[in-house]
A and B are shown apart, each in its own frame.
Chain A
Amino acid sequence: MAIIETKNLTYTYPGATKPSIVDVSIKVEKGEFVLITGPSGCGKTTLCRTFNGLVPHFYQGELKGEITVAGIDTLKHHTYEMAKHVGLVFQNPENQLFALSIEKDVAFGLENVGVPREEMRRKVDWALNQTGIYDIRERSPHEISGGQQQRVAIASVLAMEPEVIVLDEPTSFLDPLSAEKIFEVIYKLNKEQGITVILVEHRLDLTAKYSNHLIVMDHGAVRLEGDPRKILASEETRLIGVGIPKATLLYQMLKKEGLNLGDQTPLSSEELADQLLEALKPRD
C-alpha cells in the first residue's frame, strides 16, 4: 500500500486568489526516496505542508481532493496526531530549535505526547546517535554550526520514529560540505531504517543521486513524475527550468555528438566518470 496518496488535491491559502497547488495526484510507496523539485513558487512547500496536516489545519484555507498519509486521512486528524507518523524539517534551522539544549530540543515532541522518561531517554539517544550529534547533546543551539543545527532538527523529528520524513530545502543556508553530510544522514535513514524520505530541493547536483522517485512541479501542478533518470534526461524538464545536474547534462551533450556511454543516464559525477572510464579505457 502506498504510504502517501493524494487524489486531485487543490488548495488555496486564505485570502489568495489563485490556488497554490492544483489537482495534485501522487503516490509514494513505503521506503522510497522522493525528490520534489521545480521553480520557486511552484507549490512544493505547500504540498509538503499537506503531508502532516499543517495545510489546512494550521493555515486554514480551502483544501479539495483526497489525501491519506500512513493510512490516515489528514483532513480528519490534527497535526499533533500526524507528528507521530510524519516529521517535517524546514529550511531555516534557526527557527525550529527553541530549547536551550540540543537534547531538550530533540525530546520536545516526545514530551508533548507524554512519553515516559526512560523510554524518552532511549529514543532521544537513538536519534542523537543516528544523526551523529550525541557528543554535543548538552550544548545550546547557538554554540553549534548551521549544519549541526539542521541535524538537530532532523533528530528532533526522528525521535518520534515517524514513517515519513519530509525535508523542505534543508541545506540552502549551509556550505556544500555540511550539506553533503546532511544528505548522507538522510540517505542512511532511508536505507537502514526504511524511512520514507521526501526531499524538496533546487540543487539536483547534490541530491539526484540519492533519489529513486522524482516529482517535477510547476505552477502548482505536477508536471512530471517517475524515474529520475528518465525525467532528467527529458527535454521537457529542462524547459520547465529545473537545474539538471552537470554530470547528466554532459552525458546528454556527449550522446548528442554520438558518443555512446551506455543506456543509463548518470545522476552523479561518480556514475559519469565510471561510464567514461569504461568507454575510453585503452583497448588492446
Chain B
Amino acid sequence: MSVFDGLRFRKVHSPIHNLDPRIKFVYVIAIFVAAIIFYQIIPLLILFLIQIPFVLLARVQRQWLRSLRGAAFLATFIFVVNVATTFFTSGYHFTAPNIENAAAMTMRFVVLVESFSVFFLTTSPDHLGLALEESRVPYEFAFAFTTAVRFVPVLAEEAQTIMDAQKARGLELEKGGILKRIRNYVPVLIPLIVSAIRRSLELAEAMESRAWGATKKRTNLYALKLHKGDYALVAIIVGILIATVYIRLYVPIPTIASFF
C-alpha cells in the first residue's frame, strides 16, 4: 500500500526458490571457488553462462539484470584499472592478451555478483530464517533475523506517517542550512524511537504469553528436507568442482586471441 512495498517479501514458488537454501549457499561457494581458480576469459565466460538457466527457471531475470546493472560501474572500474596497470607496466602499449586479461578479471567479478544475486533473489527471508534455525545458529539469532525482516517495512511506514503528521503541523524538513535540517528531524526521530520502544514491549509481552523460553528443546513446524531438485543441484555442484579441478590441471585453456 505504500512506497515501502519493495521492502516486503512475498512467497514465490519456482524450482529454484524451492531449493534448500543451505545447498544453494554451497553452490554460491562452489562458483566462488571456481571463479577464483580460473583467470582466463573462456572458463569464466562459461561460469557466467551456466548460471543463466537458473535465473530463467526462477523467473527473476528482471531483478537479476537490475543487480548486474548495479554492478556495472564497479565492473567498468575494474576493467579500466586492469587495462591501465598493464598499459603502464608493459611499456605504454595495448596488447590483445592484456586487454583479454583485464576482461577476465572483470568477468570474475561479474560471475561473483551473479551467483550471489541468484542466491538472494531466490531465497525468501522465511526460508533463510528456517535454514538458520536448522543450522547450529542459536535460535534467538534466527528469531531476531526473521523479526527484523517482519518489522523493517512496518517501521518504515511508521516513519512516513510521523513525517506526514509533523508536516501537517507546519514542519518543513527541507528548510534551512545543514545543521537546521538535521534539527528538523528531531520531531520525527523522537516519536519513531518512542513508538519502537512501545512496540518492542508489546512484542515481548505477546512472546511471553506464548511460552517463549519454556524449554531449551524447541521444536519446529517446518523441516528442511532435501528434494530431487536439491540432489540435482548437489550433482551440478560436484560436477562443476570436478570439471574445474580437471580442466585447471590437465586442459590447456586457449585464449580468444589465439583464435585469430
Tell whether A pairs with B. Answer: yes
Residues of A near any B CB (own CB < 8 A) = 52, 54, 57-58, 79-81, 83-84, 87-88, 90, 92, 94-101, 103-104, 107-117, 120-121, 124, 138-143, 156-157, 160
Which residues of B sit under 8 angstroms from A114, Cβ to Cβ? 214-215, 217-219
Which residues of B sit under 8 angstroms from A120, Cβ to Cβ? 219, 221
Contact across chains for B9 and A100 when beta carbons are under 8 A apart: yes
Among the listed stretches B20-28, B45-53, B200-208, B245-253, which one makes contact with chain A, having 4 or more residues with CB under 8 Å of it? B200-208
The answer to whether B187 has its CB under 8 Å from any CB of chain A is no
Q: Which residue of A lies closest to B149 (CB)?
A: A100
Q: Which residue of A lies closest to B215 (CB)?
A: A114
Shortest beta-carbon distance from A75 to chain B in Å = 16
Contact across chains for A115 and B219 when beta carbons are under 8 A apart: yes
The answer to whether B199 has its CB under 8 Å from any CB of chain A is yes
The answer to whether B150 has its CB under 8 Å from any CB of chain A is yes
* Alpha-carbon distance A199/B140, docked complex (angstroms): 32
* Alpha-carbon distance A234/B202, docked complex (angstroms): 36
The answer to whether B146 has its CB under 8 Å from any CB of chain A is yes
Across the A-B interface, how many residue pairs have beta carbons closer than 8 Å? 116
CB within 8 Å for A81 and B214 given contacts A96-B202, A107-B221? yes
Shortest beta-carbon distance from B129 to chain A in Å = 7
Contact across chains for A160 and B150 when beta carbons are under 8 A apart: no
* Alpha-carbon distance A20/B146, docked complex (angstroms): 35
Q: A58-B208, A103-B221 are in contact. List 6 more A-B contacts (CB 8 A).
A: A94-B154, A98-B143, A112-B211, A112-B213, A114-B218, A140-B10
Shortest beta-carbon distance from B187 to chain A in Å = 23
Query: Could you give, for residues 103-135 of chain B, a 1 whenever the CB lies within 8 Å of some chain A CB and a 0 otherwise?
Result: 000000000000000000000111001000000
The answer to whether B232 has its CB under 8 Å from any CB of chain A is no
Which residues of A sit under 8 angstroms from B207, Cβ to Cβ? 98
The answer to whether B222 has its CB under 8 Å from any CB of chain A is yes
* Alpha-carbon distance A124/B210, docked complex (angstroms): 14
Query: Could you give, for residues 206-238 of chain B, a 1 whenever the CB lies within 8 Å of some chain A CB and a 0 otherwise?
Result: 111111111101111111000000000000000
B residues contacting the other copy or chain, number (CB 8 A):
38
CB contacts under 8 Å to A, within B174-212, are: 199, 202-212
Shortest beta-carbon distance from B91 to chain A in Å = 59
Shortest beta-carbon distance from B130 to chain A in Å = 9
Which residues of A sit under 8 angstroms from B206, Cβ to Cβ? 88, 90, 95-96, 98
CB within 8 Å for A100 and B125 given contacts A114-B214, A114-B215, A117-B219? yes
Contact across chains for B147 and A98 when beta carbons are under 8 A apart: yes
Which residues of A sit under 8 angstroms from B217, Cβ to Cβ? 114
CB within 8 Å for A95 and B199 given contacts A54-B205, A54-B208, A90-B206? yes
26 CB contacts below 8 A, A to B, read: A54-B208, A79-B209, A80-B211, A80-B213, A80-B214, A81-B214, A88-B209, A96-B203, A98-B143, A98-B203, A99-B146, A100-B9, A100-B126, A100-B150, A103-B221, A109-B211, A112-B210, A112-B212, A112-B214, A112-B215, A112-B218, A114-B219, A117-B220, A124-B221, A140-B126, A157-B210
Q: B126 is contacted by which of A94, A104, A111 (Cβ under 8 Å)?
A: A104
* Alpha-carbon distance A100/B221, docked complex (angstroms): 13
Query: Could you give, for residues 36-72 of chain B, a 1 whenever the CB lies within 8 Å of some chain A CB and a 0 otherwise?
Result: 0000000000000000000000000000000000000
Q: Which residue of A lies closest to B221 (CB)?
A: A107
* Alpha-carbon distance A103/B220, docked complex (angstroms): 11
Contact across chains for A100 and B213 when beta carbons are under 8 A apart: no
Closest 4 CB pairs of A and B: A100-B126, A83-B211, A96-B206, A107-B221
Which residues of B sit under 8 angstroms from A98, Cβ to Cβ? 143, 146-147, 150-151, 203, 206-207
Q: Which residue of A lies closest to B217 (CB)?
A: A114
Q: A111 is contacted by which of B125, B146, B209, B218 (Cβ under 8 Å)?
A: B218
* Alpha-carbon distance A12/B215, docked complex (angstroms): 30
Which residues of A sit under 8 angstroms from B218, Cβ to Cβ? 111-112, 114
Contact across chains for B146 and A100 when beta carbons are under 8 A apart: yes
* Alpha-carbon distance A108/B11, docked complex (angstroms): 19
Contact across chains for A139 and B205 when beta carbons are under 8 A apart: no
Which residues of B sit under 8 angstroms from A143, Cβ to Cβ? 10
Which residues of A sit under 8 angstroms from B153, Cβ to Cβ? 142
Contact across chains for A83 and B210 when beta carbons are under 8 A apart: yes
Shortest beta-carbon distance from A139 to chain B in Å = 7
Which residues of A sit under 8 angstroms from B167, Cβ to Cβ? none
Contact across chains for A54 and B209 when beta carbons are under 8 A apart: yes
Contact across chains for A90 and B126 when beta carbons are under 8 A apart: no
Best-surrounded residue of B154, B202, B211 (most CB of chain A within 10 A)? B211
Q: Which residue of A lies closest to B145 (CB)?
A: A100
Contact across chains for A95 and B202 when beta carbons are under 8 A apart: yes
* Alpha-carbon distance A94/B206, docked complex (angstroms): 11
